Structure 1
Amino acid sequence: MFDIFLSHAHQDEARARTLVKRLEGWGFTVYVDFKDAALSQLPDRALADRLVDRLRQCRLLVFAFSEASVNSRWMPWELGLAHGVIGRAVLWPFTQRALRAKAAQEYLHLYEALSPATAQVRLDALLGEARAAAVRPADLRAMQDLAGITANKAPEFGQPEVATEFMANGPMKLYLAWLDSLTSAWRPK
């Protein structure tokens, strides 16, 4: 799992390498194409499949753009994919001219542009939200327990007495199952 998928134009690789060092220095894990040796060997369809797979392993896409980004075949595709797959993307303008070039690409106005002064704090906040939204094993166990609680009663839910009994006891059973799933990791085996 990576914190960040870094999308950049190949002409900006030197800038992207500097950005990766900065992001990793802040403690973030970064997926970037030039660290994935297998990418250069793949035909377009397999390359696209690999990028989809890698993007699904990330919490946020950072769209690092410059004037060169306008000519990129992959960057708009990666941004659209991130919008649909992970729902979190931000812009990282490499230059002031990039911000002016942004005006020509209307779709970029949908996303927040980070400023160098606040980028680390904002990325921390966005990634914190992403981590909180992820389904954790304890939550998954609680959902499975809820399914077990409701499965036994599902055919009878139409009857008022069963619905009343579930509303009275079901939430407590769910809470206890959730609490048990949280504390089970600390119990001696």
Structure 2
Amino acid sequence: MFDIFLSHAHQDEARARSLCKRLESWGFSVYVDFGDAALSQLPDRALADRLVGRLRQCRLLVFAFSEASANSRWMPWELGLAHGVIGRAVLWPFTQRALRAKAVQEYLHLYEALQPRTAQHRLDALLGEARAAAVRPADLRAMQDLAQITEAKRPEFGNPEVATEFMAAGPMKLYLAWLESLSRAWRPK
């Protein structure tokens, strides 16, 4: 498990390498795609699945961006995936101009932008919360969504076929996956 997934544009690789060293010097474990050849291929379903797998191994996404990042088609997709998979993301603006570029990319206003003076302290706090949490924010939202969907479908549950199909497709699969995961976690090694 990594503390941080470091998202960056390839044009910013030198800055991202420097940031990675800084984060590691602060005691954080960092996943970054510098050496991951599989993540440098053209986007396809296998790549998306691999990226989701990598994100699941991380507690927080740090979206490191510059004005050059505004042209990246990959980074917003990565941020969106992280929002859905991890539920925790912060911005690391490389420059003051990047902060101005943020105004053009409205979706970035959803996330906290770290300040260089307080970044280490803020990351300590965020990652402390993440390590202590039993459930990721994204997973909690998914469970809440399932509860709302279930409530909305309740009038249709008078029909046994609808109730059976719904349970088999959603809650039952989720429950069985949870049980399987628990049994693997508790199995003696």
Structure 1 Cα separation of the partners of residues 109 and 92 of structure 2: 13
Residue type matched to 2:10 in 1? H
Give me the whole-angstrom Cα distance separating, in 2, the residues matched to 1:105 and 1:39: 24
RMSD of aligned Cα (Å) = 1.4
Q: 1:84 to 1:43 in 2, by over 3 A?
A: closer
In the TM superposition, 1:10-89 aligns within 5 A as 10-40=10-40, 44-89=44-89
Kindly provide the amino acid, as one letter, of the partner of residue 25 in structure 1: S
Opposite residue 26 of structure 1, the aligned amino acid is W
Instruction: Give per-residue Cα distances to partners, 1:134-174, cap 9 Å, x unaligned.
Output: 36xxxxxxxxxxxxxxxxxxxxxxxxxxxxxxxxxxxxxxx
Instruction: Compute the displacement of 1:41 (Å).
Output: 5.4
Unpaired runs of 5+ in structure 2?
136-189
| DSSP 3-state at the match of 2:40 | helix
Residue-pair matches, total:
135
CA deviation after TM superposition for structure 1 residue 30, in Å: 0.6
Deviations 1:98-129 (A, max 9, x none): 00000000000010000000000000000000
Distance 1:35 1:41 in 2: 13
Distance 2:113 2:130 in 1: 18
Q: 1:146 — aligned with what?
A: none
SS class of match (1:134): coil
Q: Indicate the SS of the match to 2:115.
A: coil
1:106 & 1:100 partners in 2: Cα distance?
11
Cα separation, 1, equivalents of 2:73 and 2:42:
16
Counting only pairs closer than 5 Å after superposition, residues 92-131 of structure 1 correspond to structure 2 as 92-131=92-131
Q: Give the number of the structure whose alpha-carbon radius of gyration is greater.
A: 1
Please report how far the alpha carbon of residue 43 of structure 1 lies from its aligned counterpart in structure 2 after TM superposition.
5.6
Q: Please tell me whether residue 8 in structure 1 is matched to residue 5 in structure 2.
A: no
- Deviation, structure 1 residue 47: 1.9
43-52 or 85-94: which moved more? 43-52
Match of residue 134 from structure 1: 134
Q: TM-score, normalised by structure 2?
A: 0.68
| AA at the equivalent of 2:105 | Q
Structure 1 stretches lacking a partner, 5+ long: 136-189
Partner of 1:115, secondary structure, is coil
Q: Secondary structure at the match of 1:121?
A: helix
How big is the shift at 1:132?
Answer: 0.6
TM-score (norm 1): 0.68
Partner AA of 1:15 in structure 2: R
Q: Which amino acid aligns with 2:2?
A: F
Alpha-carbon distance in 2 for matches of 1:85, 1:20 = 22
Shift of 1:44: 3.0
